[in-house]
Structure 1
Amino acid sequence: MAFPRSPILCCIIACLMVAWLWAGNVQAQELPPRRDSLAVPVDTIKQKFDERVMNNLREISERKTIMGKLLKAILVFDRRDEEVLGLDAELIQREYERHNYKVVRNIRIMTLDALGYSINDTTRVPRSFLEKAGNSLHVKTRRHLVRNKLLFERMEPLEPLALVESERLLRQTEYLLDARIIVDERTTTEDSVDVLVITKDIFSLGGSGSYTPSSGAGRVALRELNFLGLGHQIRGSYRFNMNAPRSWETTAGYTVENIGNTYITADINYFDQNYYKERSAFLRRDFFATNTRYAGAIGASKIDERLLLPPVPEDTIQRFADVGYNRQDFWLGRSFKFKSYNLGFEPRGRLITALRVINTNFYTKPTENFQDNILGIASVGYSVRRYYKDRYLYGFGRTEDVPAGTLASISYGYERGDLFYRRYFGLDLSFARYNKEFGYLYGRAGYGSFIRGGTWEQGLLELESLYFTRLYENGNWKLRHFILGRGTIGVNRNPEELLSINNEEGLRGFRSGLLRGNRRVVINYEANLYTPFSLFGFRLATLAFADVAWLSYGNKTSPFKSTPYPGFGVGIRFRNEYLSFSTIQILVGYYPKIPANENFNNLRIYESSRSYFEFEDFRFKQPGIPEFR
């Protein structure tokens, strides 16, 4: 969601920030004190600051004044943090082991609306006018969509992992906030079970926008993640009154997932931007669950883009070259599980084979390094996937699945071009471990390169590690640290293939049109402090970050021989878990070192809706050539 640049809107947001600081713990309060005549007076001296503020606001809301009615309408005083069961960072697969291979007698599905309901307390109902009004504008998810996500069926034996994998798949659905699958222990017998499935929607209709009065430039975006409760996703955006090279940009996308209970998803995308245009359509099926046997995709795309050319010392503006091509893409993968002689245990390891064919035809070639070609790649991999439950990672209290495991793959390919032939070799290894006290540690190393006439070209070495600490708690305050390290080393890359350290690729908030290279090392640190403050259901967190990046140009030049580019900053992050809006971040960044020949301020205030750290799942993906970016 873009940050509005209008002075009036900025003032409104500033007022909301002040209201947050004064409102204190709006939605995570204890129940109000008893009002009987024998109640002991509250010692306000020993009360915490946020509790004193909330008590004052509560008294004001009970007055029959305009301010009292306003506070009563927007603040919720008696809402407590939900007690979430099964979040002791325990391995998900062990929750229902005792019910393996029992027959499922009945499956009851309960879908909850977006606002005012609780997945852990089904007796809770909407109370405020805003909750009831919001639900009236939302179409609840159809039960058959939930049923189609389940990996078990009525009157069939319950396979190992079916319950926990189904719950995880529901929880990772974009239009669902959370999901619980519960075995009714009251009716469970030695050979059969009844299952209750509870899901809670998000308010799937959302949008964003920004406007700059001085230039008249702006952006409008709309999205519907669950059209008419059918799970169809529609996205679109439009930018106007831009400076150069064209005054407008537009994007649109349409997605239908899990067609006919096959887990096949259809995607149609259209991008018409200044430096990138795409028209594409795909049918795809991933290795969505641990026990998925087949995956693949088929599709076609037409892409026009502008490549940034290597800078020279006298450059003051960016130089580009045009490239355009049509591409047809197909791949198919098969998963094999290992035998287990334990009837109640499903081995997590999978051996996976896959084959991919890509046909690319260029109609605009900027240099002789681009040729029409057919590329075939075969891969063999081994995957072990485990999941843990936790909270306060990327969300503000909702249940999140933490992936852990191992993934190793080896790829071999052959490219037949109209100018030359060459082979491809790739190797990739990643792992992750999670412990409630230690935290999470992820590491990955991958290398891939084309081989032509005994020469290795367009090679790429990637190194990555991510660590986040356990959650430190002090009352309603929660703190977590993140450290991300990345290395991207190009080997004999083409001159037009360049790296930057802008934004997600290096320093968040950093922008440079001329600083480019082909070897990069980046270290990012972030501390997230989740506060108890909330307003209109938007939870508030603060963050501080420190980034440093090294960038060099040349196949034999070490990035560490160049002067590093640092960046520091602080910011606030707020999100309503019940809405489809992205997490909103307002950041202030400071960059001591600025590239030469560029007009770039050391201090920058900007908005971002994307989390800087993301999990890498250990599912086997399509064979391919890693992007050099």
Structure 2
Amino acid sequence: MVVKMLCILVISLCCYGQSNAQEQKSEKDSIRYSAIEKFSQKRKFTKFLHQLIFKPVAKPHSPNSTTQKSIAKKQKTDRKLEGKIVRNIYITTLDPFGYSLKDTTIQPEGFIKNAVNELHMKTRSMVIKDLLLFNKNAPYDSLLIKESERLIRSQKYVQDVMVSTFTTSPKADSVDVFIRVSDVWSIIPSLSASASNLELGLTDINFIGLGNSLHVDTRMNTSIHGNVTQIGYLVPNFKNSHITGNIQYYFAGNNDLIANKEFARPLYIPVSSNLQSLTLGNSYLVKSVELARSFYSPLTVWAGGVYIGQLITNQNYVQNDSLRYLSSKTNIQDYWAARSWRIYGGSSISARTTNFILSVRMLKTRYPGRTTEAETVNIFNKENIYFAGIGITSREFIQDKYVFNYGKTEDIPVGRAFGLTIGTSVRPTTNLYLGLKAAWGNYYPFGYLSSHFEYGTFIGKEGLQQQVITGRINYYTKLFTVGYWKIRQFIRPTVIVGLNRLPTDNLSLNEVMKGFEDLKYPATQMMALSLQTQSYAPWEFYGFRFGPYLFSSFGMLGNTSSGISNSRLYSELGLGVLIKNNYLMINTFQISLSFYPYLPGQGANILNTNAYKTSDYGFNDFEISKPKVVEYR
């Protein structure tokens, strides 16, 4: 098994090494782009057309060079400004199209850009001000400034932000802070139609410039009675409290939410083993209200939340050697709180961002209208779970570019986290719970590397039950420049092992590989490896950037009887292009061609094309807050 995975890794890295063979072609591309740029300068129209479609060609050290760059910037203290008084804070918000954060003289040109900007309602300055961690007439603190910038950039309605400072003279005792924020286009309609189904939706992630999210979705289907409407409203920050409020409601009319499989609802992420998403089992949201405050910054002292909601839960069970499931209404109340204390004294960034965390949580689950059949098979039992957690975390953020975005500043988490969670589950029988977490990540000379390991188990009369061990690693290389192109290699191994799990509690490859939804296998062990060679093209078209890539994914499933070493190796190989536009709310799309040597339910040597919104590899932050069970998926 180990030999298999090593061979896969070596072959993929060798394929990546072939990228240098493109050097000569990149040189020709670079010369061609330069010639186009030079020709466009001769006339106003061609100059305008070139600026509309292409970005200016950068001038590297040598057009035929292959270099490895490190453009990551760590948070630093500005000693020249530290301690000066913040005299004024100036906030400017910009429409999505045609403006520049750095150059205030650049204005949108052309009818289309101005017309679209007119339809957009800019983020209100007060919304940005409420995100700041520093105030007027307070001493200048570099870390608070950088954290405020990061918090602004993390908002979905923000494309990017630039924070600059100005002093009247080097000896001045005060400083002015200027904040320029560019918006994204925030309104996205949706339409889905077929012979039996019509679905209309509208999402606005910056409702009337308040930074709030509004989502409305109406579905008409021949198999349901009347319309089904979903309404959701999210307030990400109540007046500088950094408390998030979220309300979700589904108007179902006369529909039977339990029996009607056509009623679409978003999945609810399980928080307890008896709500765990099983082979056919999912929990669907009906209505909920939530208030929560996370450790949004390493400097945050208090966190907590309240969630009250009703779900429809599908629960699997085995009876007479056959798999069956029942559905039930599920009422959940979830309360938690956490406190952070600094471990070290001093004013260094490391000392200020290293904390001891103490957290508690109570989760109540009830099943109103529990049926006789559910009682017979002993499912849908009411439950109270009490958690307590302790941990040590060190969190910082490093600014980088060309990771998941094109030239946009990205805040990459680095640090360490070690946590212990204990709990007790009170049902007809009482079980204890134990969870452990260890995570660390940083930039190294060979690139960015982070790893996350977790272990969780319930402890009852029969010993350790429903154990899970997870290991996830994220790695990407430094940025390579080949001609005018930029390239990174991403590698992501994942390992999950379950011990003494429920008979219906099975793993799948759905979380790590596309196309294997029809694979049904009683697995309690999963191993996967994802590799992607991502390039970043040097040109754009109407704000769209293109990133051709090569990818490969390999996965294996096993259980205690067969073992993972005897499992079939499932694989996916392909190429594609990421289409990205940072001006839009849904800013990443993917078009790819995938080859499957074997695809369950379809056969051997299958070619599939995909075109959909995509998600990136993502990061695991080093935050410790709400105590919970280790996820088994």
Task: Give the TM-score, by structure 2 length.
Answer: 0.81
**Structure 2 residue 264 is the aligned partner of structure 1 residue 273:** yes
**1:256 aligned residue (235, 238, 247):** 235
> For residues 246 and 612 of structure 1, what CA distance do their matches in structure 2 show?
38
Alignment match, 1:230: 210
2:260 alignment partner in structure 1: none
C-alpha separation in 1, matches of 2:328 and 2:335 = 22
> Is the alpha carbon distance of 1:411 and 1:374 closer, same or farther for their aligned partners in structure 2, counting shifts above 3 Å?
same
Seen in structure 2, the aligned counterparts of structure 1 residues 590 and 311 have a Cα distance that, compared at 3 Å, is farther
Superposed displacement of residue 339, structure 1: 4.1
Q: How does 1:316-465 map to 2 (within 5 A)?
A: 320-342=325-347, 346-363=351-368, 364=370, 367-417=377-427, 419-435=428-444, 437-453=445-461, 455-465=463-473
Partner residue in 2 for 1:620: 624
Q: 1:545 to 1:338 in 2, by over 3 A?
A: same
CA pair 558-536 structure 1, distance change in 2 beyond 3 A: same
CA change 1:190–1:47 in 2 (3 A) is: closer
Deviation at 1:102, TM superposition (A): 2.6
List runs of 5+ in structure 1 lacking aligned partners. Answer: 1-44, 64-70
Quote the Cα distance in structure 2 between the aligned partners of 1:162 and 1:82. Answer: 34
Per the TM alignment, residue 476 of structure 1 is displaced from its structure 2 partner at its CA by 3.0
Superposition pairs for residues 272-291 of structure 1, below 5 Å?
272-273=263-264, 276-278=283-285, 279-291=287-299
Instruction: Output the CA distance in 1 between the equivalents of 2:348 and 2:448.
Output: 31
Aligned partner of 2:494 in structure 1 is 486
Q: Corresponding residue for 2:96? A: 114
Whether 2:554 is the aligned partner of 1:548: answer: yes
Matches within 5 A, 1:146-225: 146-159=128-141, 161-187=143-169, 189=171, 191-209=173-191, 220-225=200-205
The residue aligned with 2:254 is: none
> What is the rounded CA distance, in whole Å, between the counterparts of 1:628 and 1:277 in structure 2?
18
C-alpha contact (below 8 Å) 2:596/2:604 kept by paired residues: no
Residues 1:611 and 1:345: Cα distance change in structure 2 (over 3 Å): closer
Question: Could you tell me how far apart the structure 2 residues matched to 1:74 and 1:326 are?
Answer: 58
Gap change, CA 1:270 and 1:485, over 3 Å in 2 = farther
> Partners in 2 of 1:532 and 1:558 — Cα distance?
47
SS of match in other structure, 1:99: coil
Query: 1:611 matched to which residue of 2?
Result: 615
Which one of 91, 115, 123 corresponds to residue 74 of structure 2?
91
Change (3 A) 1:233 1:427: same
Matching residue's letter, 2:107: V
Deviations 1:248-277 (A, max 9, x none): 986542101210210001012246517653
1:469 to 455, 465, 477: 477
SS for the counterpart of 2:565 is helix
Structure 1 residues 497 and 239, CA gap change in structure 2 (3 angstroms) = farther
Q: Give the unaligned 5+ runs of structure 2.
A: 1-27, 60-69, 251-262, 266-281
Q: Does 1:495 align with 2:503?
A: yes
**Aligned residue pair count:** 563
Any conservation in 1 of the 2:486–2:535 contact (CA below 8 Å)?
A: yes
Deviations 1:98-152 (A, max 9, x none): 4333321211112222111111212211112221111101111111111111111
Cα distance in 2 for partners of 1:59, 1:565 equals 55
CA RMSD of aligned residues (A): 3.4
1:462 CA displacement: 0.7
- For the 8 Å contact 1:458–1:493, the answer to whether it is kept is yes
SS of the equivalent of 1:48 reads: helix
The residue identity in structure 2 corresponding to 1:388 is I
Task: Kindly state the Cα deviation for residue 326 of structure 1 after the two structures are TM-superposed.
Answer: 0.8
Offset at residue 473 of structure 1 (A):
1.3
Further displaced range: 446-455 or 319-328:
319-328
Q: Is the 8 A contact 2:217 2:229 kept in 1?
A: yes
Judged with a 3 Å threshold, the aligned counterparts in structure 2 of structure 1 residues 490 and 198 are, in CA distance, closer, same or farther, namely: same
Q: Give the % identical residues.
A: 28
User: Could you say if the C-alpha distance between residues 369 and 187 of structure 1 is closer, same or farther in structure 2, counting changes exceeding 3 Å?
Assistant: farther
CA offsets per residue over residues 184-229 of structure 1, 9 Å max, x none? 14446464322112211111112344567xx676765432111111
Asked if the contact 1:509–1:589 (Cα under 8 Å) also holds between the matched residues in 2, the reply is no
Q: CA deviation at 1:311?
A: 13
Deviates more, 1:574-583 or 1:284-293: 574-583
SS at match of 1:382: strand
Moved more, 408-417 or 361-370: 361-370
Partner Cα distance (2:363, 2:604) in 1: 41
The alpha-carbon deviation at position 474 of structure 1 amounts to 2.6
Structure 2 CA distance, aligned partners of 1:292 and 1:610? Answer: 32
The one-letter amino acid paired with 2:539 is F
